[in-house]
Structure 1
Amino acid sequence: MNLQDWEMLSTLYATKNITHAAQSLFLSQPTLTSRLKKMEDYYGVSLIIRKRRGITFTPEGQKLAQHAKHMLKEQRNIEETLMNMKDHVAGTLRVGVSNFFALNKMPKLLHLFNQKHPDVECQVVTGWSSEMHRKLLNHEVHLSFIKGNYPWQEHKELLYEENICIAAPWPFAWEDLPSLPRIDYYTDAGMRDTIDHWWFTNYKENPYINIHVNDVETCKEMVINKLGYAILANLVVHPYPELNVKPVHSPSGEPITRKTWMYYHTESLQLNIVRAFVDFIRTMDVKNL
């Protein structure tokens, strides 16, 4: 078996769908099916069971898919070790990025970093902060940009802190909020808990939520178009001075904030590419980028 076989099997296990796996690997479905059949013949076992929708793996297939994931990880490790033996900063940097950071900060950071280190390839995965935390724990990425605090025993560095605020398209009084239309959006558990805790500390009534959207950027557009107010982090609406924005406070009067961190494993700094990127981020004014 070669590296391409392990990558094929790992991708198929992740997607549980031959069509999707083939598209991800830039292969035709017959080519993928043929390679899978050769693997089954080689080991003398059936690896998958075809269903009306997608596939399921046999116990033997699950075991081999786990081995494939291990082999791919070992390959990455040896490539990084050999690359790190050179003085030149080059190779592949794997970064996990929370959704807002990916949209508003990461493109500029990668552009500036690549100007300084043109031989670096960056593989970026985006999602909720909780997902990026999990990927870092599993060593799927070298480092992660994460909003909020998550259990972590190694290094993390604060990039910036921003106020949680009310953003509305019209002037408002605090006591009127329960009767005003609010735009709600899907977010990670930490932000959701912060918003709910603030609301029910200050109001007995449930909020009047008339629109639910999938992400904070869509929510922001709804607010700009005067469909309601929202509770979100300040940087989302900072570029829009026409909005009425007020920070929310704890019962003690302190502003409620949300922090964005760079999390990474201590051992990752042994890699030239990771050390160069961490040093680069330290020089940047990320909040005002």
Structure 2
Amino acid sequence: MLDQKDWHLIHELYKNKNITKTAEKLFVSQPSISYRLKRIEQDLGVSLFFKTKKGIGFTSEGDYLAQQARDMIQSYQQMKDQLLNMQNEVSGTLRIGASSNYAQYLLPQMLKAFSDQYENVRFQVRTGWSTQILDLLQNDVVHVGILRSDFSWPGIKLLLKEEQLALISKTKLKIESLPMQPYLSYRTDTSLTESIKSWWNDRFEDPPYTEMDLDRFETCKEMVKQGLGYSIAPMISLSEKDQLYIKPLHFKNKKPVIRRTWLLASEEASRLAVVERFIQFIQTMGLDHK
């Protein structure tokens, strides 16, 4: 008989397709996973898994079982949420998905303040690009999502923050000189990349002279500090301590280049006490919302 540990094992293995990665994720040994997979096949009487050059593959029966595992995990979590919601005291686990930048610069203080008011609430936080957070939200993996893009959403939608994009460099630069200067790019979500492209194409005909393509903004910022080039970044990731030249950007029509951060939640999730209180808490912090 499969239990919750088995469902989680199958779910993680289906995502990773690799026993080693799954063992690391679940903090168990590889032999114990292999043994449990054989027992599951024996109990169900069908072939579910097979070895590949890169790891583990799933038969059609295995694919079906993996989908059942996902549904069972979600159903169990929803049951726990509802049981905790029936209590008078606000408690339980608040599952949050947040964009990496927001999670790094603002989310810790927000969760600390909420935790001070509701000591029995715990947090599960997943971070990533906004598109990844939206996917988690749509699949009910998280209760609320904090995304840095203007996605359409049928449920609860609160505007948390508006900020301008800015040019950053070691020393003062004129906007007109940028096509001749070394540009330092970094990997980020599609919406920010498109915002930067939109501003650039509004101001210049030639593409930027990209000298470095970096995987993280923090690495990019350190390169800029050394005078190796300029970059463009949201204000949320900048501070006076960086000691950089920071110039907020505008389009030709003088309209600021804005990036918005939203909190999204489904109507169903917002009826849970812990989610309802978190949304109320956000609103009482004096943040703009829609």
Using structure 1 for the length normalisation, give the TM-score: 0.95
Give the distance between the partners of 2:242 and 2:85, measured in 1 at CA.
47
Identity of aligned residues (%): 36
Change (3 A) 1:181 1:286: farther
Question: Is residue 29 from structure 1 mapped to residue 33 from structure 2 by the alignment?
Answer: no
Partner residue in 1 for 2:55: 54
Aligned residues: 287
Q: Which residue of 2 aligns with 1:273?
A: 274
Q: Give the aligned partner of residue 263 of structure 1.
A: 264
For residue 210 of structure 1, what is the aligned residue in structure 2? 211
Describe how 1:88-237 pairs up with structure 2 within 5 A: 88-237=89-238
1:14 and 1:159 mapped to 2: Cα distance? 32
Q: Distance in 1 between matches of 2:92 and 2:19?
A: 30
Contact 1:182 1:208 in 2 (8 A): yes
Deviation of 1:87 (Å): 0.9
SS of 1:74 mapped into structure 2 = helix
Asked whether the equivalents of residues 169 and 224 of structure 1 are also in contact (C-alpha less than 8 Å), the reply is yes
Alignment of 1:82 onto 2:80: no
Task: Return the alpha-carbon distance in structure 2 between the equivalents of residues 140 and 243 of structure 1.
Answer: 39
- On the 8 A contact 1:179/1:208 being kept in 2, the answer is yes
Gaps (5+ residues) in structure 1?
none
**Secondary structure of the structure 2 residue equivalent to 1:148:** coil
- Following superposition, the deviation at residue 286 of structure 1 comes to 6.9
1:25, distance to aligned residue in structure 2 (A): 1.4
Match of 2:283 in 1: 282
**TM-score (norm. length: structure 2):** 0.95
Gaps of 5+ in 2: none
User: What amino acid maps onto 2:169 in structure 1?
Assistant: A
Does structure 1 conserve the Cα–Cα contact (< 8 Å) formed by 2:11 and 2:66?
yes
The whole-number CA distance in structure 1 between the counterparts of 2:191 and 2:241 is 25
Contact 1:93-1:123 within 8 A present in 2 as well: yes
CA contact (8 A) 1:98 1:147 kept: yes
Counterparts of 1:110 and 1:79 in 2: how far apart (Å)? 21
Cα distance in 1, alignment partners of residues 20 and 286 from structure 2: 43
Residue 170 of structure 1 deviates from its aligned partner by 0.7
CA RMSD of aligned residues (A): 1.5
Q: Deviations over 1:111-130 (max 9, x none)?
A: 22222222212110000011
- 2:65 paired residue number: 64
After the TM superposition, list the runs of 4 or more consecutive aligned residues in structure 1 that deviate by more than 4 angstroms.
none
